[in-house]
Amino acid sequence: MIELTNLSFGYSKKPLLFWNLNLNLEAGHIYGLLGKNGAGKSTLLKNIAGLVFPTEGVCKVNGHNAAKRLPSFLQELFFIPEEMELPSLSGKEFVRRTAHFYPKFDHAQFYKVLAEFDVSPDANLNQLSFGQQKKVMITFGLASNTSLLIMDEPTNGLDIPSKVQFRRIMASSITEDRCMIISTHQVRDLDSLIDTLLVLHKKEIVLNKSLDDIGERLLFSTSGNANKDGVLYTASNAIGNNTISINNHGHHNKVDMELLFNAIIDDYTTVLEPLK
Ligand SMILES: Nc1ncnc2c1ncn2[C@@H]1O[C@H](COP(=O)(O)OP(=O)(O)OP(=O)(O)O)[C@@H](O)[C@H]1O
């Protein structure tokens, strides 16, 4: 569905943020995009959405060159940026004026999910709190039923019960025809939600693997339970050590995404070797 080929990008007069980046993403998956502050997550998402244009290389979505922003491309894409300015309209009016851009927009789904988020469709959007505004846009994005839904830091501004609700609603909205990409700093917000982890580090996508694959190849445990001959990374916490080691048994275990992310950004790239 998404094909980035030899993509390089840099803002004018700044060094390149990505260099020769290649990435293929498929429908039917919820991808979690992680990277340090300033790694370029938002910029990568904007390249995919055709909001900025590659310096070199190409980004295709459903066969369309994203940079051309053709109507046939735009009607299948919904992008929720990290920060947004909403018009002085009620949610209901916003839907009335904009839903027709998305041929698969489901009005009943919009009102149902918005009610689950406990936001009134009659409230003026620019008088809602930041978290409530996010909820309206997440709901609109889900109801648009576009084949690609991109969310940049969607959980930013949501309180803890709303984050739980968000994960539940998102997980129940994925279909075989849809691809969702969620970027976040809050690794824990992706727990029980994403199926594939993407890590952007040092101008490249260094990891694009399903959690199933990762959990079969790496063992996440306390150091006492680690595969002692295959320890790849250890981090101490208040009560001991957490460890990533090679999973020799091939039995799936739960991936500690935060630990894996920390290992990668600390440049313990050996954790990536068993995943190649
Ligand atoms: N419009 C712009 N013009 C120039 N530089 C920009 C622009 N937008 C972002 N940058 C720079 O590009 C780099 C990557 O920014 P980006 O927002 O893509 O990173 P990010 O990984 O999403 O960061 P964060 O996790 O902090 O949100 C940063 O150094 C930022 O200052």
What are the tens digits of pLDDT across the range 92-107?
A: 999 999 999 999 999 9
Please indicate, yes or no, if residue 46 is contained in any of the structural domains: yes
pTM: 0.94
Q: Do residues 206 and 269 make contact, with C-beta atoms less than 8 angstroms apart?
A: yes
Phi and psi angles of residue 105, each rounded to the nearest 5 degrees, phi first: -60, 130
What are the tens digits of pLDDT across the range 129-186?
A: 999 999 999 999 999 999 999 999 999 889 999 999 999 899 888 899 999 999 988 8
For ligand 1, whether the C-beta of 52 sits within 6 Å is no
Amino acid identity for residue 272 in this structure: L
DSSP state for residue 16 in the 8-state scheme:
-
Both 270 and 170 in one domain: the answer is: no
Q: Of 218, 210, 272, 276, nearest to 247 (Cα)?
A: 218
Tell me the CATH number at 129.
3.40.50.300
Burial (Cβ within 10 Å: 0-12, 13-18, ≥19) of residue 50: buried
Both 97 and 234 in one domain: the answer is: no
Both 63 and 172 in one domain: the answer is: yes
Residue indicated by tokens 């839903």: 99
What does the block give as tokens for 213?
């694959």
Nearest residue (by CA) to ligand 1, atom 23, is 38
Most distant CA pair in the chain, distance:
62
For ligand 1, whether the C-beta of 83 sits within 6 Å is no
Separation of 37 CA from ligand 1 center, angstroms?
A: 8
Neighbours of 132 (CB within 10 A): 19
**Containing domain of residue 258, as a range?**
211-275
Please indicate, yes or no, if residue 260 is contained in any of the structural domains: yes
Cα 264 from Cα 261, distance rounded (Å): 5
Separation of 153 CA from ligand 1 center, angstroms?
A: 13
Split at pLDDT 50, 70, 90, the class of 113 is very high
For ligand 1, whether the C-beta of 38 sits within 6 Å is yes
